[in-house]
Amino acid sequence: MVIVLEGITSRIKERETYYFVGRQKELLQFSQFIKDRDHERPSIFHIYGTGGIGKTTFLHICKTAVEDLGYLFLQLDSSDFIHTAEGLVKAIYRQLELTHPPYAKACQQKSSSLSDLIELLLQISASTTLVIAFDTFEEMPEVEPWLRDLLPLIMEEVFIVFAGRYPLKGPWISSPAWRERILQIPLNYLNQSETSQYLQKCDIYDENETQRIWERTHGHPLSLSLYTASRCDSDELISEHKHWFEDVAETWLREVPDSVLRRYLDAASLFHVFDQDALSFILNEEIPTNQFDQLIHLSFVRRTERGWQLHELMRVFTHQRFRFRSPVSCRKLTDRCALYYAERILTSSDRISMDWEVGEFFRYMDVDVIRALTGERKNGYYWEVVTESTLPEAKSYVEWRRATSQTRSRVEIDPVTGKEFCIEYSSEEIRFNIHHLDIYEVFHLDPRSLLLLRNDQGEVAALSVIIPIHKGTLPWLERDPVTSPFILSCSLDERKALAVHEDSPCGWFIRTADFIDLLNPEIRIEGIYLFYAYMCRGGLLLASPFPSPITHHAYTGFGFEVAQGASHTNYDSVTTTPTFVLDTRGEKLRSFIEQILIKSRITPDGSSNQSPFSKTLLTETISWKSHLTNREQEVAHLVMIGLSNKDIAKQLYISEITVKKHLNAIFQKLGISRRTQLVHKINTLE
């Protein structure tokens, strides 16, 4: 019987090793850690990563490698013992008895004192290499003080491995003596190549299916395992009532037992990227910094350039659960997300770099064509302005397009309503993109007009020609067959308003937006975000592409209108082509944002409603803040919570005179004269 069990165990280990992919760098680091007996080198090997990242599996592989060398490997999980000094000692003895029978008698003769344990471990390490691993280390904080007493006495001879969700902190790192003895190794998701390798081991070879699985799991090991398991199971198991990733999400949710923190997690799931200000805005309350810190230190939350992100699986699961459990609250907070980005757009001092904020704003809009055409934006593509050195590439692209014959057709579906949108262009219609276009002429007209989209290999994927409107480009715009109908439809006074200085264009004309493959979603999304970059700059934005049903749906969905008297037939002398216009000059930007909100039935209090949009966004939500500097907003907030001028000065590390100056400025900007009026005004608006 023992021989049979050993054979089964051996085969399980072989299969576990077979399905283990990636982690070669980490395994090499572990191998070097074990082989290096230099007492000046690290003696504690700590691997960490989010739930389901594969820490336990990594330990199993390490255990196999160590035992193949004839060494001893003890592995303890937090659930294996009572978290006391005595419980720790007994757990190590028990592991020795179960996994290494020759030491059973020695364990039985020892007491449960730390000194007896140390004596036994040093005896063992004198004859062989000994590794002790602690899994789910984050769940045993009570043991850490005892370990810091125990380890200095054995770690010169015994190798210690920790595995947990978080990097070691506190005394482990604040003390240089401990810090230099610890090697911390993060475990990340598998990359796309490793994911493909794992799926092939699971007999999944279809490239399209592999791509779909990659997009859903992002290489998260437990997600991959559960996905492939559900694929092989019955339809009942993987029906719409049993999502395969619920097991992953429930694993992560064990980290969030606190009801307040779960509320913040629900709110965070409504954002693709969030920060403390964003959550405070949509919840309409100040989130304490210590509680926000707890949220962002959860293992499934990661730092990004713009803030923090939930793991996509966790975000989707939490959002769906929130929407099912509390549909009214979820809808209200979702609408406040839209208002948050509306505020960001309207109050920004740099509208040139607002493409991301505009894109996030439109995510919350109820516009079917936008949902159908856009998706997750991925890294790997970037727009660059054409220079003298890259001008030949732009010219080559135009020549390639003129010589290419391809008909493109595809149906995109709005995931919410199921409405279908057909993208269909003949080869001739595609070539109209560069009709009557002289690249060198446009470049010398205004070098800012030409942009190339490149992939991560530096290859050209698209060409856009967006002409700034100013006194230097007006003569060309009046001559070009595509741009001239709008310019000539303007009155004399309107044309004079277009003749601004070259450094401050009053608008832009999208003359061409040509993609090497319009049906490629990643390329198309980059084109949409280029539109976003110009839409809310506070100027005119014009376009007159060759007409098609999808073109009309897209431009009107994004808020463009058909310019009166600016239609033409200059592409093929037959087809009537409209000119689309979006005017966000001056106060028209606010009107544009409000109209988009109206179409999505979002009212300023952050709720979806069928009733008319009776009050302006700025009046209800952001008016008072938009008039104040950041420091003035801080002063106003401290007045709201009842602080005196003296207390405000201490809080902000400024003088009382400076506080008074800020208050005088606030009073003047808001049209008030007393602190009580300030409190009343802000309470009324918020």
Q: Minimal CA–CA distance to 633: which of 644, 622, 646?
A: 622
C-alpha–C-alpha distance, residues 231 and 211, integer Å = 15
Read off the pLDDT of residues 130-139 as tens digits, 9 standing for 90 and up.
Answer: 999 998 888 8
User: Residue 685's pLDDT is what?
Assistant: 60
Is the same domain home to 464 and 544? yes
Residue 640 in this model has a pLDDT that exceeds 60: yes
The CATH code of the domain that includes 634 is 1.10.10.10
Lowest mean pLDDT among 29-43, 395-409, 598-612, 615-629: 615-629
Average confidence (pLDDT) over 600-619 = 51
Lowest mean pLDDT among 82-91, 128-137, 238-247, 549-558: 238-247
User: Residue 240's pLDDT is what?
Assistant: 38
C-alpha–C-alpha distance, residues 669 and 106, integer Å = 82
**pLDDT-based confidence at residue 349 (cuts at 50, 70, 90):** confident
The CATH code of the domain that includes 501 is 3.40.630.30
Question: Exposed, middle or buried: residue 252 (CB in 10 Å: 0-12, 13-18, 19+)?
Answer: buried
Is the same domain home to 350 and 383? no
Average confidence (pLDDT) over 449-467 = 92
Domain end point (choices 318, 340, 363): 363
Average confidence (pLDDT) over 159-174 = 88
Question: Exposed, middle or buried: residue 262 (CB in 10 Å: 0-12, 13-18, 19+)?
Answer: middle
The CATH code of the domain that includes 76 is 3.40.50.300
Is the same domain home to 28 and 79? yes
Is the same domain home to 506 and 539? yes
User: Residue 477's pLDDT is what?
Assistant: 95
Q: Which of 3-7, 203-207, 472-476, 646-650 has the highest mean pLDDT?
A: 472-476
User: Residue 412's pLDDT is what?
Assistant: 84
Q: Minimal CA–CA distance to 606: which of 333, 393, 240, 299?
A: 333
**pLDDT-based confidence at residue 117 (cuts at 50, 70, 90):** confident
Is the same domain home to 38 and 102? yes
Is the same domain home to 357 and 482? no
Task: Report the sign of the C-alpha dihedral through residues 362, 365, 370, 374, in that order.
Answer: positive
Is the same domain home to 488 and 573? yes
Read off the pLDDT of residues 318-347 as tens digits, 9 standing for 90 and up.
Answer: 888 888 888 889 999 999 999 999 999 998
C-alpha–C-alpha distance, residues 287 and 264, integer Å = 9
524 or 626: whose pLDDT is higher?
524
Look at residue 603 and tell me if it is in a domain: no
Lowest mean pLDDT among 226-240, 267-281, 570-584: 226-240
Neighbours of 553 (CB within 10 A): 19
% of the chain with per-residue pLDDT over 70: 90
User: Residue 617's pLDDT is what?
Assistant: 40
Domain count, the chain: 5
C-alpha–C-alpha distance, residues 282 and 304, integer Å = 20
C-alpha–C-alpha distance, residues 377 and 531, integer Å = 14
Read off the pLDDT of residues 236-275 as tens digits, 9 standing for 90 and up.
Answer: 333 333 455 566 677 777 788 888 999 999 999 999 999 9
Look at residue 405 and tell me if it is in a domain: yes
For 221, the domain range is: 192-244
Cβ contacts of residue 186 below 8 Å, gap of 6+? 47, 48, 49, 167
Domain end point (choices 579, 595, 611): 595
Average confidence (pLDDT) over 567-572 = 91
User: Residue 155's pLDDT is what?
Assistant: 82
Average confidence (pLDDT) over 372-385 = 83
**pLDDT-based confidence at residue 282 (cuts at 50, 70, 90):** very high
Look at residue 656 and tell me if it is in a domain: yes
